[in-house]
Structure 1
Amino acid sequence: MSYIRFRKHYLQIPYLVLAVLEFAVLLGIFVVLAVAYPFAGGQAAPEDVYSSVLFAGILSLGTLAMGGYTGIVQETVAQLYFRTLVAYCFLGGIGLMLVYAFLPDLDPGSTNLFWAILLCSFAVIMLRRSFSALVDSEKLVRRVVIFGSGDYAAWMLAEYDRNMRALGVRILGCVSDSASPVVSADRLITAPADFYQYCRQNRISEIVVLQQERRKAEGGWLPVPELMECKLRGVAVTNGIDFYERELKKVKLDLVHPSWIVFSEGFQASRRQQWTKRIVDLTLGLFLLIITLPFMVFTAIAILLETGRPIIYSQTRVGLLGREFRIFKFRSMRQDAEKDGKAQWASANDSRVTRVGAFIRNTRLDELPQIYNVIRGDMSIVGPRPERPEFVSELREKIPYYDTRHYVRPGLMGWAQLKYPYGASVEDARGKLEYDLYYSKNRSLLMDFLIMIQTAEVVLLGKGVR
């Protein structure tokens, strides 16, 4: 098993190991430098140890913020260098300077800090390249077989070819459950006479059951005794929707059915969790309001100078339990962006966006007035993005289970924003809903924290902006 589930969130064990190794490398390099070049030119002091832990912790958070523990196997060498330098030299450097401003006794000095970050960047890049080769090694990959050969199995193979190869998964093929399979012949596996022996001989660690219900009427079959034996003898047997959710951190809409929502673990939060989340939202909302106030003032002045008033505009959005509320944003489009009164999806290179508007959209400064919505309780810091009523009416008709996202308070940032580009069509809304369903099912304060940290990558790289 190469993953653990903590607070309802799936964590890949290899990446946890990588995080521990990186922390140890960062800590070790800083300790060596602190001993060789003491802070004040004297003997190494206890403060050196505290500063070492602080240094390693902040740089590790920088790596997490840049998605360094989710995309490392998929990135090129150039992307690896870029991600590491941004995480350490930019995010880590800013974080350390802010901390040292309040804790000057832990400041090792600019020279020591420069060499520490430089050496750590080089060491971690080498470590990650070795890790990538190791995780991709055939000796460590998880070998999986799909039981099923219909349309669902076919798109699972397509998803595997696009994404899962980089996650240390090898799908060997599909065992046909029908006389008329959809999966191509080269990906089919002849049904073994003894499933357990087949798994043992081929080092199969998991069987994913991915049948389509309509196949039952066409002679489909399910070898329940054989699958029971495999599970009882240590081979994992997983249904398709759970496998998809675990590996890709989203829920495949085509596989969702009401009984899965009713009986699966998740889709609920206790009153204590709800109150805790509200307290966290209120605290962080007030804190963000204070530290972003100067940015809001400059943004307001820039909008006023370029296109005049109004500086802030509001829209009706659909929130918790379908209740409508007014959301506030800095205006990034011309005043006549919707002069005909009809709601329009934003498009790439939208001509309605002003020059200031393009900048504040890329940096997410246009979203800052929504902190007021968070403090008021209309929104949360983390949650599905609220949509306009005009679009909701259309989407609930065209997308199954669309209303499930309205059982969670909408958020300033969210899982779908991290994982999916800007939504500007019904198909995009469907793709985002798969991530929103995953968040709704598995939400926790830990997941909220991870989303908040990783949102830094979205802001810095301008992901999902139109």
Structure 2
Amino acid sequence: MIKDNQERLNHLHVLLDGVVILFSYALAWLIVIGSSSTARNAMTDVYLFTGIAIVPAFLLLNAFFQLYAPKRVQTARAELANILKANTIGIFGIALILFLGGKNPYFYHFSRKMVIYFYVINVIAEVIMRNCLKYALRSMRTKGYNQKHILLVGYSRASESFIDRVTANPDWGYKIRGILDDREDWGTEYKGVRVIGKIEDLSDILKLNTLDEIAITLGIGEYANLEGIVAACEKSGVHTKFVPDYFKFIPTRPYMEDLNGLPVINIRHVPLTDPLNASMKRAVDIFGAIVAIILFSPFMLGAAIAVKLTSPGELIFKQERVGLHNKPFKMYKFRSMTVQAPDKERKEWTTKGDARVTAVGRFIRKTSIDEMPQFFNVLKGDMSLVGPRPERPFFVEKFREEIPRYMIKHQVRPGMTGWAQVNGYRGDTSITKRIEHDLYYIENWTMGFDFKILFLTFFKGFINKNAY
């Protein structure tokens, strides 16, 4: 069974990690110390003892960060993050020991440069080794080896969705043996997976001891049976997972929260509701806005002079937009249009060939120079460097009725640029597509994602072909 295979694989994985750690340490020693006969002879015993001690310490860190968990559906990004965490903490541990060692000759003369080399080499070597292992396992599973045998309990939308994903990813190595259901007739089939009995047959099937997992995929109207099914699975010792049948009416990425022992399902995962994440993002916004104001000040000065000389009216155009928690704020832009009545301005979008746009305005809109005063909005806290673009109150009220989940975008600060904008959804483009990209950003936010969007903005975000 797969349980035995998984145990052997875990042992192999630990052994390979030990070899990689030793290899990285030896290579770092060879690069930094090996060329110096004096350093090599004086500290040989110390370096040898340290190398032996590092292996179990780093293996424990890898285990702590779940690097020996099954790799069937683990993302490469999550694994890389865990590798970096384990190695970073390990290196900090070594640095702390060296610092506490003070003037002791063994600690004092230990090469700090070698520690850095070891860190870099070990991260790279672990990533390469794990990707090679993952590729080999996926290749085996695609060919029908190392399969995990699963039984589904309940025929529902959840079971069909589970089968769809397993069918589309043969490299996961899941073999669905069948479905138990009280409503569907024996032999009912979905993509080659058949109903093979009633839910009451579960205990007899579990006694055969041929299954690796049970996936409970009951329809939402059958949750009354859930307690008995879980009890039967727990009694047999078979690993059990629950696939809820709510994704049709809660089409998001829910996550679990422990409320003093009570599991709570949050309908939508918004990483920026975490105070630490929000504080980090705000710190980057303030620093980035100050740097940008300094760097782009010549462009802003040139735009200000051109607008003032070519069109009568105020230099800065202040327009009401809806921001974080649905609160209105004044968003700043260099004025690119002739002065117009407020009621007309609030309810009209700019279209191609719009006569209200001045000659200078057309240029600064195309190049996004008109948006640069929003760096001051960022400093004030009304906006972020990256986030969903804010909209006028009139259109917010309109879209909240027409587009499902539109108002979700107001759970984070609006941004000067965003995932929708770097993918081409700016100006007169699909609102629905824009919201899809905004929601993806909100649910998948990381600091790295923000930096990626800022990087792409330099190549895709400044020149706006949809700005009129």
TM-score w.r.t. the length of structure 2 is 0.49
* Higher RCO, 1 vs 2 (CA within 8 Å, ≥6 residues apart): 1
Q: Which has the larger radius of gyration?
A: 2
TM-score w.r.t. the length of structure 1 is 0.49
